[in-house]
Every structure is written in C-alpha cells, then in structure tokens.
C-alpha cells in the first residue's frame, strides 16, 4: 500500500456510497456530507453497497488521487454511525485495507522476561 504521510487524518464515510462516482463526485461528498475540505490533505474512504469495493480519495498537494481496492472474497468491515463519519488512524486504515477487523485489534503485551 502507498502509505499516507505521518499525521494524515483518515475519514470513513459511513453507510453506502455509489461506486460509480469518480473524483469530483466523491470530493463533493467529502465536502457536503462529511463537512470536510477535500483539498485539506485528509484521506477519505468510501465503501460500496456490496462491501467488497473501497475507494480512497486524497489530495496530495498537487491534485486529487483516487485509489480503489476490491476484495476477491469477503467484505470490508465498515461502521454505521449517526454522524455519518468515523475517524481512523493510518494503522487502522492499513488493517481495513488488508481485510482485518480494525475495530477489534488488540496490542500484544510486552514480555516481562526474555527467554
């Protein structure tokens, strides 16, 4: 995966998005529905109806970038909230894109003794 720069905010658009939308349509959703500036450097994630396709929209300082990923089996874990958006860390985004349930991730405790 192409990693976003450190400190990049990640927003998930909760619910379903029409995956026929391109850069302009998704930028409009980020602005009107998520109330965020699509040209502010944040990364926006949108999921389709079936759950197996996700699109990422990101402004890199020079232009909009649109990335998409389709899972061959299964679906992306996606929240449903009343606010319409959820903020993620870049690590949670990486888990989401790998098909891992990012909501249930647990840190492994550090060992107390070697050996």
- What pLDDT is attached to residue 107? 63
108 is a domain residue: no
Residue 52 in any domain: the answer is yes
Range of the domain at 19: 10-102
The torsion angle over the Cα atoms of residues 73, 23, 37 and 95, rounded to 10 degrees, is 20
Residue 1 belongs to a domain? no
18 found inside a domain: yes
Q: Examine residue 90 and state whether it is found in any structural domain, yes or no.
A: yes
Burial label for 12, CB within 10 Å (0-12, 13-18, 19+), is: buried
Residue 22 within a domain:
yes
pLDDT by 10s per residue, the chain, length 115 = 567 777 889 999 988 889 999 999 999 999 998 899 999 999 999 998 888 899 999 998 899 999 999 988 888 888 777 778 888 888 888 888 888 877 776 666 777 777 6
Q: Specify if 109 maps to a domain.
A: no
- The closest of 31, 20, 71 to 11, measured between CA atoms, is 31
- Total domains in the chain come to 1
Instruction: For residue 112, tell me if it sits in a domain.
Output: no
């Amino acid at each position: 995966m192409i990693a976003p720069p450190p400190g990049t905010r990640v927003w998930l658009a909760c619910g379903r998005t029409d995956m026929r939308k391109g850069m302009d349509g998704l930028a409009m959703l980020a602005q009107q529905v998520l109330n965020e500036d699509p040209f502010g450097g944040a990364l926006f994630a949108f999921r389709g109806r079936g759950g197996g396709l996700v699109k990422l929209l990101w402004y890199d300082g020079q232009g909009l970038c649109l990335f998409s990923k389709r899972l061959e089996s299964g679906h992306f874990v996606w929240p449903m909230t009343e606010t319409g958006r959820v903020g993620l860390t870049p690590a949670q985004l990486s888990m989401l894109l790998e098909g891992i349930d990012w909501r249930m991730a647990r840190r492994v405790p550090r060992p107390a003794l070697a050996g």
